[in-house]
Every structure is written in structure tokens, then in C-alpha cells.
Chains A and B, each alone.
Chain A
Amino acid sequence: MSEFTVNSFKKGQPRWCPGCGDHFFLASFHKALAEIGVAPWNTAVISGIGCSSRLPHYMATYGMNTIHGRAAAIATGAKVANPELSVWQVSGDGDGLAIGGNHFIHANRRNININILLLNNRIYGLTKGQYSPTSPRGFVSKSSPYGTVEDPFRPAELCFGARGHFFARTVATDGPHTVEVLKEAYNHKGTTVTEILQNCVIFNNGTHDDVYDKAGRAKNAIYVRHGEKLVFGENKEFGLVQQGFGLKVVEIGKDGYTLDDVLVHDAHCEDNTLQLKLALMGNGDGFPVALGVIRDVEAPTYDECVSAQIEEVKNKKPYHNFQELLETNDIWEVK
């Protein structure tokens, strides 16, 4: 049992708009940290700029609310310099995937042991309503009054393309599931990306309506858990099977399909092909939105490798302080 409670991590009065998804997420985050049990003084929460990047101000941990887009790079430096810290990086879709896209992919590639929390409301909220890199094609906003003419990023695709080893998705309003997923993210060694679907009540209200309440999720989402059958529906009457190079939704007991035909989720599979297919489901294609830990594969982490290499070289090289370093040079003496 953890010696910490939600109150050990709570600070201040959040100033997000009433109904903002950030409120829901913050409560789940506090709860998850209390259950994880790392002390607040060994926890660092680092954000960039944006509505969700205000989050560190409401944490009783160490933290930084930095500059736009750079949180992943800053978190990388903090973790490498101080591997004992439990580092959480908070970004919105603009902060993390537009201005911070380069740092996002390289954090995933390096597999540094930080947890990236990607709060995705598909809009720029703090600058009052411009389309973001996750807004769908044709999205009408203040900066795209006639609709956007560009395709969005799908965060999972970006994570997988950058050789990410952990990707999970949850919905801000689904507290218990968010807590469960955050704990799994913490337990995974290496970069984790948790996409949190959240609503912006002011500038993009209803963007995740299909899964934002319990009833919607029952109909339109599938909860995936490693080792469990990929079944969904109000009565678990549907399942996912493999067909050709793709997935297919079947009704169990119909058209000759039985529960045995339904795929078992394998988050630990090195090959991410089927995990990516799961991650990209939803958004009106007849498939449910996958929620839960979609990919969770162990791999060497950057910070551990950096530390291990330092130890290895310490054992090999004969010099261990500055004066000894000087002596490794060609030296002459003037008498």
C-alpha cells in the first residue's frame, strides 16, 4: 500500500473552464500517483505551453511549466541527469505534436524512461480556437474558416513510426480506466505515450462525443487488455477477427463466427502491425475506438543505457578525476 494519498499530490485551485477535460484528467492523475506511491519529492511533472500545460501548477510535486513544444526535450535532460526522478511530461496536441513534434518522435526513438501524457482535444484552446495537427480534414476553426485542407496526425501512428514501445489511450471522463492506464504507463520502462481524449467545451465541444460518456463507450469503444479477447458491445456480442491483411468486426455466433475466432490482444508483441490497426480504429469507419494499453513492449531504455555505459567505462578507463585526466595527455616538463 502506498503511504501517499490524493491530497499528497494536490495543490491549488485549477483555473480551467468549467467542464474542461483537464479537470477530469487531473483528478485521475492525482489518484494514480497516490496509488503508484512514488514520493512527491521524487516526482517531476514537466509541461510545455497550452491549457493542459498548466497542469504542473496543480501538483504538489517538483515541476516545470516551460516553453511551447519543448517539454519532451526538457524532460529528457531532467531524466538523464537525475534517473531517480519519476518524470511525467504533459502536453496538448498542439504542444506535443505541432511545435514539439520533433522532440516527441525523438523521445520515442530514444526510449527514455519518461511518461508522455498527450491531452488531445483536437484544438488550440489557449490561443482561442485554431485547428491543431489532430483536427480532422475540413475542420472549421478561426484560422480555417473554410475548413482545413490538410490531414491530421494520428498520435499512435506517429508514436509507432518513431519506434515507440508503449502506447495507451483513455478518455478523460473515464476515471477508473485512466488510473489503470497511468499505472501501467508508470510500470513500463521506457517512453510511454498515453493519449487522453478530452473535450474542449469552448472551442471544440463534442469532439469525442462518441466515447465521452459511458453509454457511448459501451457502443463505440473496445477496451483492450493484454491476453484478453478483443470483444466489445453492450453485451460483449461483437469481436475482432483477422481477415486478410486487416481486421474485421464480427457478431459472435453469427455467420459461423465463434468466440474462438476472436483475436486475443497481444500488447507485448514486438511486431506492431496489428497493434497499429487497433490503434487506428474508430472515427466512423465501422470499428470501435480502442481504449487501454495497445502496445507495451520491453526494450533497453536510454537513461539506463547511459548510466550503464558510464559504469562500464569507469571500470575500463584508468582515470577517474580531473587530475588523472590531465595525466593521460602528452606532457613535457620545463625545468
Chain B
Amino acid sequence: MTETLEVKELDQVVVRFSGDSGDGMQLAGNIFSTVSATVGNSISTFPDYPADIRAPQGSLTGVSGFQVHIGAGQVYTPGDQCDVLVCMNAAALKTQYRFAKPGAAIIIDTDSFGPKDLAKAEFKTEDYLGEMGIDPDRVIACPLTTMVKDCLAESGMEPKAILKCRNMFALGLVCWLFDRDIDIAFNFLREKFAKKPAIAESNIKVIQAGYDYGHNTHSNVAGVRRIETKEKKPGRYMDITGNKATAYGFIAAAEKAGLKLYLGSYPITPATDVLHELSKHKSLGVTTVQCEDEIAGCASSVGAAFAGALAVTSTSGPGICLKSEAMNLAVILELPLVVLDVQRGGPATGLPTKSEQTDLLQALFGRNGESPMPVMAAMSPTDCFDAAYEASKLALEHMTPVVLLTDAYVANGSGAFKLPNLAEYPAINPPYVPEELKGQWTPYMRAENGTRYWAIPGREGFENITAGIEKDSKTGAISTDPENHQLMTNLRKQKIENIEVPDLEVLGDKDDAELLIVGFGGTYGHLHAAMDEMRAAGRKVAMVHFRYINPLPKNAAEVLCKYPKVVVAEQNTGQLAAWLRMKVDGFCPAQYNEVKGQPFKVADLTAAFEALLEK
């Protein structure tokens, strides 16, 4: 039979797995992306989960999705809409169908589309496809649950445990659709469940069953598709989420600097995985303290920095509000501290599991007094590693708190991460007070670049008291002298402005673009994909993306003012645009703003940018 199969080659494909929060959609999606990445495809993933822990089974609010984008060439985003939508129940079809492309294949488990399931999903009739306007030819409808039960009937497993394998059947079927090598999935499961081989083998059996089902019923689907790999960057890779990459970046920086890594944190979505990840690695000497509140998370980190650690505190928006006071303390104490803000929808509790870029101005300004602080933003899940490393380096070398912004999309999304070689990373050299200054040293004595020296407790002859109250620039004693306060304010400002950050790199038509697209942080992939599409259609477009937001790259003004039209696209109501207008004389960009809690859609971006060009 196989010889009759039509094998279509595709450049890219987007698959969205959806079901109840407990259906294991993330695991299925992760294995699918790993299987694809292993053969060299480019991958990008995005989990979209509800705020409820376990909403009632089969209900509309309990649906979680996991989207995987695989490509022959580079993919920058998890994809706007999917080519294949897997729906493990009726509620998933109801809520997730809007993420499907017109003409997408829909896989459904008919066993989960009974009258009760349909009622829970608020379908009015039994003709759920008709209600949704779905062409039945596009649907692969199979009694998935029944087949999984049959497959594992003799396994001796509990009925509940058997049902947990449904996700693997869907995975097997999708692997067949895209001609994936399921042996890679088998190996993955055997490693993941190394201590529970029976579970691994059951899952493997179900994947095989799903794959075989696809094979045996091939005449019902549109054809097997294959994604060949076009550009291979040789090397060793792993799949990594943004939060894990962030944690790894901190570990790497602490090791490079020869310092203990301290994390003071309080659980908060979507930043908690950084606390989880770092808590695992005590064998590397990582110290994590789950504090009594966000305030203590930051305050204890200030204490740890004082005592000589690479101190980090991790949180999301509401936590930043609470940490602001202790962040400000680190500003005036001039101690190194990295504050990680995994941005989510706000204000207040807002959209805890969704993504926004709405904390930028808070990071820049959200403290009392003149309180300058470097601000960085990571561009992608894998970039979180470098961003965390660089934020740590900045903090330690310039004796300042640094805000590192990521967001829910970047934090939970994943990409293929080429294993870094720490030996190739730049050294981290904190300004320890030189021994020869003993006897003449005072706590606010500065190195050439304006950074104060660091005297870590334990060193004889450098005992000192620092304080949140203003100090004399020379003696370090409490001072309310007007001239001194002016001087100290200037010194703290200048110190941040002196930090050298890499120049902006213009991508695309850098010499003759008619439109410059400007963004920051986690929207890099979407903006890049939009630019690529427009250029492929013959438009002259360029883009710049800010990783360093304070201080701005030195060439920012020159680049921003070079092109006839500029649009700042961001997931807020115009915060980067406001900052750039404040910093660059005469800069008056167009804006593209969206705060829906979802990643940008490339199609929306290109439509908006085309309209700008037409104006």
C-alpha cells in the first residue's frame, strides 16, 4: 500500500495539539518537536494553557493547547494558525478551531464527542461539524479512546492510566502524517521513563498504534507530507524553554564569575519555572530561597548581593510592583542584582498565563526618586540564555540592579538550543576593591568607569556601612548636603549611561528600506517573519530589534531617523515608542499595538505594515 502514497514536500507545518489540561498535550507536542528537531528541522513551540489548574473535565475553560511549528528553513514563530489541529474532545474543537488555517486537517477523538461532551462544549446539535462550518472531508475522525483501550487491554494497567496514553495515539498519528521517524520518539520515552520501563513501553505501543492507524487508513487523508531539512547548522542541540534557558544563563554566569548563585523568589505564573529549574541544581551549589513574599524575594537577594553572591530575584508583573522598593535599595547601595520579570497580561492579576510587553515603563521608571537601572529584553526562548548571562555580567561589572524582561510567550515557548561552550563566553570581572586601597578606601570610591568598588564582607580592612539613605560621595557617611545629593544623583545616572551595549543591527533592506520595523524582546520572531514575507513580496523593508533598552545602543538615533517610515510594533499601548520619543529628538514613529495576551499574528502585522506603506 505504501507505494501508492503521495508524499508532498512542505517548507513548514504548524500542528496544534489541544485537549483538557490533563490530557498531556504539552508532552505530545514536545515529543513531536524533538522528533523533528533531531532530523535538523527548525522548531518553535508555544503552550497556551488556562489559568485554572484543573477546570472541570471537558469544559470550555479547561482546554489547553500546545502549538509546534517545524520548518525546513528557519522558523521564527510558533505560527499564526495551524495546518493540523488535534482535538481530544468537543470543548477543544469549540475553542481551538479558530487557530486552524482554512483547509487545515482536524483530528478528533469521536469517543469524546458524545451527547454529554457536546453539551459541556455548548454545542446545540449533534452536528458539531456543521455548527462550526467544518468540511467533513478535512476531518480525521477516529475512535481514539477505544483504540487506546484495546491497544493496552492486556497491559494490566489501571483504566485511568490507560486513558492517560491517549495523547500518544494522537502523536503517533501526527508522526505518520508528517513522515516522522518514530524511533526517535521511542528513544525519548525510554530515557524519560528510564525508571518506569513499563510506562515507557505502554506509551510506545500506543504511538505505534496511532502511527499504524494513520498508515492503514491513508486513503482518508490528504497525503503524507514530509518536511525536509534545508539549512543544517551542525552541532549538538537540545530543546529548551525560555524559562529553562534563563535559569541556565544565570548558572553559567555565576560559574564564569566564580560566585555563588542565589535566587530569592516567590512563586508566580509564568516565572515559577525559573525557581523550579534553579532549585534542582544544588549539585552546582545553586542556592534558592522560596521567600515569604515577593518583597522578601528581592530584599533577601539584596542581602545575598551584599554578602558576595550573584543575586537574582525572579517574578512577573505584580511581583515587580512589590519588589520596586528593594530594587531601589540596590540602586542606591550600588549592589549587583538581576531582577527577572517574565511579563504577563496586566494590570493587577490581569491575564496570568498570557503574554504582554506591558511592564517596560515600569522597569524603566517604576521607582521613587531618580533611579536609573539597565533594562534588557530577551528575544526568543533560546536567547534567554544569552540575555540572562549578559544581564548578570552587566550587574556584576557595573554594580547595579538590572531588569531582564522576558514574557510568557518566550518563557514557555521552546526552540532548538545549540549547546553553548562556556569557555567561549566573555569573562565576568566584578570591580572588587583592590587590596592596595586598604587604609584609604571608602565605600563610594569609584573605578574609572564610575562604578563603585565591591568590598565583600569577610575582607579585613574594608569594613563599611552602606545605606538606603544618601551618603557622602567621599566618606560614605550619611549626608543631606544639597551639593552632595546632586553629585550622587549624577554619578548614579552617569554610571548607567556609561555602560557600553552593542549597536543595533539593521536586518533586511538596510540601505533602501521604505519602512523600518522596530520592536523589542519577545516579538522578534513575529516581526522577523513579517519582514521576510513582505520582502518576498517585493517590498523594501528593514527591522531593528532592541535587546538593550536602557541604556540605548549608541547608534539608535541614527538608525531610527534614517528611513522614510518607521513603525514601532509592541504588545502594549506604546511604551517603547514613548521611551524612544523621549530619548531621540524628533522621532515620531507610527505604532502597531496589541494587548490580547496572544502572540502577534504575522498576517496581521503584514497587513498593517502594508497599509502604512500605502499611505
Contact = CB atoms under 8 A, between A and B. Distances in A.
Interface of A: 11-12, 39-42, 44-46, 49, 56-57, 59-67, 70, 73-82, 84-85, 102-103, 106, 306, 309-310, 313-314, 316-317, 319-323, 325-326, 329-335
Given A62-B463, A67-B299, A319-B284, 18 more contacts: A40-B463, A63-B465, A66-B329, A70-B296, A70-B329, A73-B300, A73-B303, A76-B291, A77-B262, A78-B457, A80-B287, A85-B457, A106-B292, A306-B287, A321-B284, A325-B284, A334-B233, A335-B234
A32 to B, nearest CB: 18
Contacts of A319: 283-284
Contacts of B325: 67, 70
B195 interface: no
Contacts of A321: 255, 284
Contact of B467 (A40, A66, A80): A66
Given A316-B283, A325-B248, A80 B262 contact: yes
B258 to A, nearest CB: 12
B235 A334 contact: yes
B242 to A, nearest CB: 15
B460 interface: yes
A309 B252 CA distance: 21
B308 A82 contact: yes
B326 A67 contact: yes
A76 B289 CA distance: 9
7 closest A-B pairs by beta carbon, nearest first, are: A77-B303, A77-B300, A82-B307, A81-B304, A317-B283, A73-B296, A74-B303
Given A66-B302, A77-B300, A84 B458 contact: yes
Contacts of A67: 299, 325-326, 328-329, 468
A246 B243 CA distance: 56
B422 A333 contact: no
A310 B282 contact: yes
A303 to B, nearest CB: 10
Contacts of A309: 282
B464 A41 contact: no
B465 A56 contact: yes
Contacts of B457: 41-42, 44, 62, 78, 82, 85
A330 B295 CA distance: 36
A65 B325 CA distance: 14
B459 interface: yes
B281 interface: yes
B312 to A, nearest CB: 11
Contacts of A64: 303, 306, 333, 465-467
Contacts of A77: 262, 264, 289, 299-307, 311
B479 to A, nearest CB: 12
A62 B333 CA distance: 13
9 contacts: A42-B458, A66-B302, A70-B326, A70-B329, A73-B291, A77-B305, A331-B236, A332-B38, A334-B232
B27 interface: no
Contacts of A57: 465, 467, 477-478
A310 B262 CA distance: 13
B444 to A, nearest CB: 14
A329 to B, nearest CB: 4
Which has the most chain B C-beta neighbours within 10 Å: A42, A80, A323?
A: A80
Which has the most chain A C-beta neighbours within 10 Å: B251, B285, B422?
A: B285
Interface string B320-350: 0000011011000100000000000000000
A295 B302 CA distance: 31
Contact of B292 (A61, A102, A306, A333): A102
B234 A320 contact: no
Contact of A313 (B34, B283, B419): B283
Contacts of A84: 458
Given A73-B291, A80-B287, A46 B459 contact: no
Q: Categorize the interface residue count of chain B.
A: 35 or more
A275 to B, nearest CB: 25
A334 to B, nearest CB: 5
A264 B461 CA distance: 47
B99 interface: no
A66 B305 CA distance: 13
Given A40-B463, A42-B458, A334-B232, A81 B307 contact: yes
Contacts of B142: none
A322 B251 CA distance: 7
B309 A81 contact: yes
B465 A59 contact: yes
A41 B307 CA distance: 12
Which has the most chain A C-beta neighbours within 10 Å: B252, B287, B420?
A: B287
A70 B234 contact: no
Nearest to B286: A310
B262 A65 contact: no
A46 B419 contact: no
A76 B238 contact: no
Contacts of B289: 76-77, 80, 306
A256 B524 CA distance: 88
Given A66-B302, A75-B303, A322-B422, A81 B287 contact: yes
A62 B235 contact: no
Interface in B448-474: 455-469
A95 to B, nearest CB: 12
A59 B285 CA distance: 32
B239 interface: yes
Contacts of B304: 77-78, 80-82
A313 B281 CA distance: 8
A62 B300 contact: no
B302 A61 contact: no
Interface string B512-534: 00000000000000000000000
Contacts of B264: 77
A257 to B, nearest CB: 46
A103 B422 CA distance: 38
B260 interface: yes
A334 B40 contact: yes
B237 interface: yes
Contacts of A317: 282-283
Contact of B303 (A61, A78, A323): A78
Which has the most chain B C-beta neighbours within 10 Å: A41, A80, A316, A332?
A: A332
Interface in B222-239: 232-239
A256 to B, nearest CB: 51
Contacts of A59: 465
B293 interface: yes
Contact of B307 (A44, A103, A325, A326): A44
B128 interface: no
A4 to B, nearest CB: 12
Contacts of B460: 39, 41
B191 interface: yes
Which has the most chain A C-beta neighbours within 10 Å: B252, B255, B282, B308?
A: B282
Interface string B12-48: 0000000000000000000000100110100000000
A322 B302 contact: no
Contact of A76 (B188, B260, B303, B309): B303
Contacts of B237: 331-334
Nearest to B420: A326
Given A60-B463, A334-B233, A102 B293 contact: yes
Contact of A74 (B232, B234, B260, B306): B306
A106 B299 CA distance: 14
B283 A326 contact: no
Given A77-B304, A77-B311, A82-B307, A331 B419 contact: yes
B462 A41 contact: yes
Which has the most chain B C-beta neighbours within 10 Å: A42, A74, A81?
A: A81
Which has the most chain A C-beta neighbours within 10 Å: B184, B291, B467?
A: B467
B296 A76 contact: yes
Which has the most chain A C-beta neighbours within 10 Å: B240, B248, B465?
A: B465
A156 B326 CA distance: 28
Contacts of A60: 463
